[in-house]
Amino acid sequence: MNKLKNSASEALEGILFDGMTIMAGGFGLCGIPEYLITALRDSGVKDISVISNNCGIDDFGLGILLHTRQIKKMVSSYVGGNKTFEQQYMKGELELEFNPQGTLAERCRAGGAGIAGFYTKTGVGTVIAEGKEHKEFNGETYILETGLVADLSLVKAWKADDEGNLVYRKTARNFNPVMATAGKTTIAEVEEYVSLGDFDPDHIHTPGIYVNGFIVGTDHKKPIEIMTTREYVA
Amino acid sequence: MPWSREEIAQRAAEELQDGFYVNLGIGIPTLVANYIPDNVQVILESENGMLGMGPFPYPDQVDPDLINAGKQTISELDQTSYFSSADSFAMIRGGHINLAILGAMQVAQNGDLANWMIPGKMIKGMGGAMDLVAGVNKVVVIMDHTAKDGSPKFLKSCDLPLTGSSVTDLLITNLAVFQFEEDKPTLIELAPGVDLDEIREKTQAEFVVSPDLKSN
């Protein structure tokens, strides 16, 4: 079976429904599935709960789903730098669940690995710990966090082969591999399509078992949020 | 003269030891990378999934797939490795990072740290800060000694939501350095031209003065 789909809308056909939970990979605007997010917007699916480290910026990434008011709830670790988000949240139009970044990553990893919950020291003594089970191990206090699964995971990789094996590039990897494992359905978006056998099997980051389909985007915009450079010294 | 931003970063860099794996937070902590002593080699971790973070790239080497946790474009080094967010926080939570340097809004005398939220005013999120303070071996906190209105930020207890409880190991302000080892923090160093009276006046937290107090 070739998992390559012709377009983002074809890849999402029959999968979307109102009120669903969607994981989206990326850190800031780095390694986000930009074509799949646009297809989500165009589908009109609404009341979605989105699990993603951030919520894009005002006019790119997941931020575009705020303008169309398709997002009901965000589960994120950091949402700074997005005015639309702030406005909708302050008006009570948007639910927000903050998770510490490592806890969020581990909840996805656990969910994908069939682990119902895990104990972590992160957040002990803070608002994050409120209402959660506390337990002592070796004299230290930990809190119980639960695994996360999503109806759909949208991830961004660098390359895919027909089997849906994925390879990521540099820090665009971030949440993508763990989210790929935690979707009941996972759709990937890549920059390059390679033939079976082109990947060294030792170098595959996400085995194709986690990937139901993928699309090849052309001319990814990949905007840079904060451009920082140094000068050549003569 | 209180320490400038650069001088605070320089003072924090004295905490780096050869071979340390280090996570630097956003703001002044990022500047610490400019003051790594010549005889010390450290490996910088960026919690979005990178070990061996290099300097900012040359203009023609900017890569949108290569950013740090502050979303700034950066470069890689020969020893660089990349990994997922789950692996990144496994090394943070698992105690494999030797030192983290973070900014703060408030610190309490028991080492409580608040740096992620002002209720009703600022909704940004904690990012990786809660994981870092819970998992990293030594946590160095950097902040101005007082708020813009002059009110103290080193307090008996924080009134802002906490990032972590009793997590601060060393506090470096523009006026002084405090160590957290015993029941109460110990004042160990003063910025140039700063005396004990000024610290007492601008500090709400209870502290003891080290017999070896260093004046600069």
Q: What angle do CA B53, A111, A6 make, to 5 degrees?
A: 80
Question: What are the distances in angstroms from CA A97 to CA A31, A77, A179, B70?
Answer: 22, 8, 17, 21
Cα–Cα distance between B82 and A173 in angstroms, integer?
A: 8
Whether B62 sits inside 8 A of A127 (CB atoms) is no
Q: Which amino acid is at B196?
A: L
Cα–Cα distance between A186 and A210 in angstroms, integer?
A: 7
pLDDT of residue A5: 97
- Looking at the partner chain, which of B46, B58, B73 has a beta carbon nearest the beta carbon of A224? B73
Nearest Cα residue to A80 out of B150, B188, B125, B116: B125
CB B73 within 8 A of CB B67: yes
pLDDT of residue A86: 86
Average confidence (pLDDT) per 10 residues, chain A, 234 residues: 93 97 98 98 98 95 96 96 88 95 98 98 98 98 98 98 98 98 98 97 98 95 94 81
> Chain A: residue nearest B121 by CA?
A90
Q: Which residues of B are catalytic?
A: 47
The list of chain B residues with pLDDT below 70 reads: none
Whether B128 sits inside 8 A of A77 (CB atoms) is yes
Does A223 lie at the interface with B, CB-CB under 8 angstroms?
yes
Q: How many CB pairs under 8 A join A and B?
A: 177
Q: What is the ipTM of this complex?
A: 0.96
Whether B162 sits inside 8 A of A125 (CB atoms) is yes
Q: Which domains are present in chain A?
A: 8-216 (3.40.1080.10)
Cα–Cα distance between A223 and B83 in angstroms, integer?
A: 22
Interface mutation target, options A76, A90, A140, A170, chain B, most CBs of B under 10 Å: A170
Whether B125 sits inside 8 A of A79 (CB atoms) is yes
Does A191 lie at the interface with B, CB-CB under 8 angstroms?
no
Alpha carbon of residue B125 to chain centroid: 17
pLDDT of residue B27: 87
Cβ neighbours of A89 in B, within 8 Å: 123
Q: Dump the DSSP string for chain A.
A: ---B-SSHHHHHTTT--TT-EEEE--BTTBT--HHHHHHHHHHT--SEEEE-S---BTTBTTHHHHHTT-EEEEEES--TT-HHHHHHHHTT-SEEEE--HHHHHHHHHHHHTT--EEEESTTTTSGGGTTS-EEEETTEEEEEEE---EEEEEEE-SEE-TT--EE--GGG-TTHHHHHHSEEEEEEEESEE--TT-S-GGG-SB-GGG-SEEEE-SS-----SB----PPP-
CB A227 within 8 A of CB A199: no
pLDDT of residue B92: 98
Whether A224 sits inside 8 A of B62 (CB atoms) is yes
Q: Which amino acid is at A7?
A: S
Predicted structure pTM score = 0.97
